C-alpha cells in the first residue's frame, strides 16, 4: 500500500541535503526540511483528533507552510480540500456543509467568516489560521505537535483530495481524487516531460488549482528537483527568474503577458528546456509569437480536475498549435457522437478511461453514474476531434463552460446571482474571446419594465457574492434574449452580437 507522499519522495529522501524550494527572499528548504516539516504537519493534524479519511479544508495564501500542510495531509491519510482564496461566504458555506471537514485552516482575516459558517454545521470543525508569513494558530499547533514519522497506509483507491469543480446547475461538485490517481499521473508526467534532479521549476501558479498543486509539483518531487517558489505570477519577476530555471508551467495569460515584455528574447530563455501551457486554450497567435521571440515551442496539454493530465503534445516531435497532442501513456481516449466513434475531423464528446480518472463525485452517486458510460468511460463534456495523424484538438465544451484566466466558470452560477438582483428580469452569461484571459465572462441582462440598471451596478452585485474570476468583465443591457423555437436562449447569437 503506497501512500502518495512516500511515492513522491522516497528517492529524493536518500539525499536530504538536496535543495527543494527557494522563496523570493532567498530562504532555501532542502528535501530533509521537507521531510521534517511535513512530519510536523501530519503530527499536528493527528493531534487535533483527525483520523484517516477525515477532510481538511484549506483557504490560505500560497506559502511553503501551505505546501507542507497539503503533503502532511497525504502523510496522515487525510483528505485535503483546497479552496480558492477568492471564494466568498456563500460559496464557502456550501463546501463546509457538503464536505463536512473535521478541520479548517484559513487566513486570519477569514476566521470570523468560517466561525459563523461553522456554527451552523452539525459537527463544528477545528478552526486554525495560517498567515502569509507562516504564523497563526496553525504554527502554534505545529510547535506543540509530535512529528508523525512514516506515512499512514494508503492503497490506490484511498481518497486523497476533493477538488470542487463548478457545475452547470450552479452548485459545485466534489471530484474525489485518490492516491492512485495522483501517483499514476505524476509518474507518467515525470517521464513524458523528461524531469530529472537537475531541473528547476519556476512556480507562479496558485495552490488551490490542480495545475499548480498536482501537475507542477508532483513530478518535481518525484524527480528530486528544485522549485523557485513565488506567491503569484508577475511577468517582470518571471523574466528575471528564467535564467535560473529550466521549466515553467503556466496558463495562456502568463505567456501573453511575457510577450508584452520587451526583454523577452532567446538570451533571456537560454537555460530553459520546457515551457508548458494548460488550463485554457492557447491561441495559435500566442504560440507563434512566443516561438518567434524566444526560439522555444510551448508544449500544450489537456487535463481536468477529474483526471489530472489526459493528453500532451510530444516532448520530442512536433508540438502542433491548436492541439493538445496525444493521450498520455496508460490513458485511453475516444471521441464519440452518441454510441459511435467519430472519424478524424468529426467533432464529438471526449470520453476517457485510465488510472488517472477520479473515483466519482462526492456524495453525488447519481451524477457520477450519469457522467460515466455503462462500459466505464468518463464523459468529460469537452468536444474534441482527431486529426488524420492522431493529434487531438479541443473544439468546444458541451457543458457550456467558460475558461477565464485558467479558471473554470459555469454561466448558470452567475446567471442565478444576477437573476436574483432587484430589477433584473433574466440574464444570459457567455464567454467572449479575450487576448489576455482567453475568454472574458460577459453578461447580457434584461431589465424589468421600469427598472433602472447599470453595468457597474450589476458587476458590483456579482462581485459581492462570487469569486473575482467569476465576475463579468462586461455587462450588456438588452431588451430581450434571442431564443429558438423551443424557447432556449441562443447564446451563439449573443456572442456574435459582440464580434467586430
Residues 6 or more apart from 187 whose CB is under 8 A from it? 222
What is the rounded distance in angstroms from the CA atom of residue 307 to the CA atom of residue 304? 6
What is the rounded distance in angstroms from the CA atom of residue 139 to the CA atom of residue 285? 47
Task: State residue 279's pLDDT score.
Answer: 87
What is the rounded distance in angstroms from the CA atom of residue 389 to the CA atom of residue 91? 44
Spacing of C-alpha 374 from chain mean position: 28
Cβ(402)–Cβ(434) under 8 Å? no
Spacing of C-alpha 328 from chain mean position: 19
Task: State residue 103's pLDDT score.
Answer: 98
Task: For the chain of 500 residues, list the mean pLDDT of each consecutive stretch of 10.
Answer: 92 92 97 98 98 98 98 98 93 95 98 96 94 97 95 96 72 94 98 98 94 97 98 97 98 93 98 94 91 98 97 98 97 95 94 98 96 96 94 82 85 88 92 90 95 96 94 96 74 86
DSSP annotation of 470 reads: G
What is the rounded distance in angstroms from the CA atom of residue 277 to the CA atom of residue 286? 11
Cβ(176)–Cβ(157) under 8 Å? no
What cell does 112 get? 470570523
Domain with CATH 3.30.300.30 in the chain: 402-497
Domain with CATH 3.40.50.12780 in the chain: 4-192
What cell does 396 get? 468546444
What percentage of the chain's residues is helix, strand, coil (to nearest 5)? Answer: 30, 25, 40
Cα distances (Å, whole numbers) of residue 136 to 1, 39, 129, 131, 140: 35, 19, 5, 6, 7
Task: State residue 395's pLDDT score.
Answer: 81
Task: State residue 168's pLDDT score.
Answer: 41
| Helices 284-294 & 252-259 angle (0-180, nearest 10) | 50
**Superfamily of domain 4-192 in the CATH hierarchy:** ANL, N-terminal domain (3.40.50.12780)
The pTM (predicted TM-score) of the whole model is 0.87
Cα distances (Å, whole numbers) of residue 69 to 104, 200, 207, 363, 389: 11, 22, 11, 25, 44
Name the 3-class secondary structure at 444. strand
What is the rounded distance in angstroms from the CA atom of residue 304 to the CA atom of residue 337? 21
Residues 6 or more apart from 14 whose CB is under 8 A from it? none
**Superfamily of domain 402-497 in the CATH hierarchy:** ANL, C-terminal domain (3.30.300.30)
What is the rounded distance in angstroms from the CA atom of residue 249 to the CA atom of residue 301? 11
- Least Cα distance to 495 among 436, 430, 398, 437 occurs for 430
Amino acid at each position: 500500500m503506497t501512500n502518495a507522499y512516500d511515492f513522491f519522495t522516497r528517492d529524493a529522501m536518500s539525499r536530504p541535503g538536496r535543495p527543494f524550494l527557494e522563496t523570493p527572499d532567498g530562504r532555501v528548504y532542502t528535501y530533509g526540511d521537507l521531510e521534517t516539516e511535513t512530519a510536523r504537519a501530519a503530527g499536528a493534524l493527528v493531534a487535533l483528533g483527525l483520523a484517516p479519511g477525515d477532510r481538511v479544508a484549506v483557504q490560505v495564501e500560497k506559502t511553503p507552510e501551505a505546501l507542507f500542510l497539503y503533503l502532511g495531509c497525504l502523510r496522515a491519510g487525510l483528505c485535503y480540500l483546497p479552496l480558492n482564496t477568492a471564494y466568498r461566504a456563500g460559496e464557502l458555506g456550501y463546501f463546509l456543509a457538503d464536505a463536512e471537514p473535521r478541520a479548517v485552516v484559513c487566513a486570519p482575516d477569514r476566521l470570523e467568516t468560517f466561525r459563523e459558517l461553522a456554527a451552523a454545521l452539525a459537527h463544528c470543525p477545528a478552526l486554525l489560521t495560517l498567515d502569509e508569513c507562516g504564523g497563526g494558530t496553525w504554527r502554534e499547533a505545529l510547535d506543540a505537535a509530535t512529528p508523525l514519522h512514516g506515512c499512514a497506509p494508503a492503497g490506490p483507491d484511498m481518497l486523497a483530495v476533493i477538488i470542487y469543480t463548478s457545475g452547470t446547475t450552479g452548485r459545485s461538485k466534489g471530484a474525489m481524487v485518490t492516491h492512485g490517481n495522483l501517483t499514476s499521473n505524476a509518474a507518467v508526467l515525470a517521464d513524458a516531460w523528461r524531469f530529472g534532479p537537475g531541473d528547476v521549476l519556476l512556480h507562479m501558479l496558485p495552490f488551490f488549482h490542480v495545475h499548480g498543486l498536482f501537475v507542477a509539483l508532483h513530478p518535481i518531487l518525484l524527480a528530486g528537483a528544485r522549485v523557485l517558489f513565488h506567491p503569484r505570477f508577475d511577468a517582470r519577476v518571471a523574466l528575471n527568474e528564467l535564467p535560473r530555471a529550466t521549466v515553467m508551467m503556466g496558463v495562456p495569460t502568463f505567456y501573453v503577458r511575457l510577450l508584452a515584455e520587451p526583454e523577452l528574447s532567446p538570451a533571456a530563455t537560454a537555460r530553459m528546456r520546457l515551457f508548458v501551457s494548460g488550463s485554457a486554450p492557447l491561441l495559435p497567435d500566442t504560440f507563434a509569437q512566443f516561438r518567434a521571440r524566444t526560439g522555444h515551442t510551448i508544449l500544450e496539454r489537456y487535463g481536468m480536475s477529474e483526471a489530472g493530465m489526459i493528453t500532451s503534445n510530444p516532448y520530442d516531435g512536433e508540438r502542433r498549435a491548436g492541439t493538445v497532442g496525444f493521450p498520455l501513456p496508460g490513458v485511453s481516449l475516444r471521441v464519440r457522437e452518441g454510441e459511435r466513434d467519430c472519424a478524424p475531423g468529426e467533432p464529438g464528446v471526449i470520453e476517457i478511461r485510465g488510472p488517472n480518472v477520479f473515483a466519482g463525485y462526492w456524495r453525488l452517486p447519481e451524477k457520477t453514474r450519469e457522467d460515466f458510460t455503462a462500459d466505464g468511460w468518463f464523459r468529460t463534456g469537452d468536444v474534441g476531434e482527431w486529426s488524420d495523424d492522431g493529434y487531438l484538438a479541443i473544439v468546444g465544451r458541451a457543458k457550456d463552460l467558460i475558461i477565464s484566466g485558467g479558471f473554470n466558470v459555469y454561466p448558470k452560477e452567475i446567471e442565478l446571482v444576477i437573476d436574483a438582483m432587484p430589477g433584473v428580469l433574466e440574464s444570459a452569461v457567455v464567454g467572449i474571446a479575450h487576448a489576455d484571459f482567453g475568454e472574458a465572462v460577459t453578461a447580457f441582462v434584461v431589465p424589468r419594465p421600469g427598472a433602472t440598471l447599470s453595468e457597474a451596478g450589476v458587476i458590483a452585485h456579482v462581485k459581492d457574492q462570487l469569486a473575482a474570476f467569476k465576475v463579468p468583465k462586461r455587462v450588456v443591457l438588452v431588451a430581450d434574449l434571442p431564443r429558438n423555437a423551443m424557447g432556449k436562449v441562443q447564446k451563439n447569437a449573443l456572442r456574435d452580437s459582440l464580434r467586430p
